[in-house]
Amino acid sequence: MTILEIKKLTRNFKGLTALCRIDIEVREGEILGVIGPNGAGKTTLFNVISGYLKPSSGEILFRGENIVGVKPYDIVKKGIARSFQGASLFQDTSCLENLIIAHHLYKKFGFWQAILKTKAYALREEEVKGKSMKMLENINLAEKKGACTHEIPYGHQKMIGIEMALSTNAELLLLDEPVSGMNPEEALAVTKIIEQIRSKNGITVIVVEHNMKVVMKICNRIVVIDHGEKIAEGSPEAIRSNRKVIEAYLGAEEIQE
């Protein structure tokens, strides 16, 4: 079943075409990789899907509904969430509090409920704290709950950033460079988290990533973009041997495992 369908998506920036009539179909429950050289248009694609940029033309259908023009916050409420290239955390706040804040950003309480500390508010606070602790346990960072995020390794920060996106109860998760800047051990840990998101939570994932080892390992299918155009789509095995992809990356070694 298709969860997201992108039709003839185009985005222009003052005469520069960042995306040119892109067609992508995302199947429910899969991990789809989006790769391409620097400047290919990958992050622009994420920005358009998540509502941070409006396309010049084309359609984005989420479960059959056209979400072009929908505000980013409302797109999150519909079931699409994203992480960013940077860790995007509240750096002077504890790991646990970052996740609690993320939950509250998704489901806000009324002003007077918060001020008066109503029973419903207190129950919600306890529920959110429990869910947030469970998320830290899932990524083996429970012992870091009280540490400010700037005090923990960058790889751990990225893991918390992914969990913050998950706190929105997303059905479709967009991960932008989830292992960038990580050492091999950290990248392996994040790779396992992404696989678990799909296998245990049933969440569909789209990954933009330069680390080809990660892409080839976890993705069911891969879409390749170059200069704003889709040049290839297929299984990791098919993409690895695709001549257009090899030429785009200026050498076969760029797409080897």
- Please report the pLDDT score of residue 150 as a whole number: 87
CA 197 to CA 178: how far, in whole Å? 13
| Pairing state between β 172-176 and 80-82 | parallel
User: In 227-238, which positions are buried (b, 16+ CB within 10 angstroms) versus exposed (e)?
Assistant: ebebbbbeebee
- Please report the pLDDT score of residue 92 as a whole number: 84
Q: Would you say 158 and 190 are in contact if contact means Cβ atoms under 8 Å apart?
A: yes
User: Could you report the per-residue pLDDT of 56-90, keeping only the tens digit for each?
Assistant: 999 999 999 999 999 998 999 899 999 865 556 77
**pTM as predicted:** 0.85
Q: Give the closest residue to 75 by CA, choosing from 96, 58, 94, 51.
A: 51
| Pairing state between β 221-226 and 80-82 | unpaired
- Please report the pLDDT score of residue 106 as a whole number: 61
Residue 202 β-bridge partners: none
CA 4 to CA 236: how far, in whole Å? 20
Domains delineated in the chain: 2-91+157-255 (3.40.50.300)
Q: Would you say 200 and 25 are in contact if contact means Cβ atoms under 8 Å apart?
A: no
**pLDDT under 50: residue ranges of the chain:** 111-112, 114-116, 252-254
Residue 31 has φ and ψ, to the nearest 5°, of: -110, 115
Q: Would you say 34 and 42 are in contact if contact means Cβ atoms under 8 Å apart?
A: yes
State the alpha helices, DSSP H only, in 107-224: 111-116, 119-138, 154-166, 184-199, 212-218
Q: Would you say 68 and 60 are in contact if contact means Cβ atoms under 8 Å apart?
A: yes
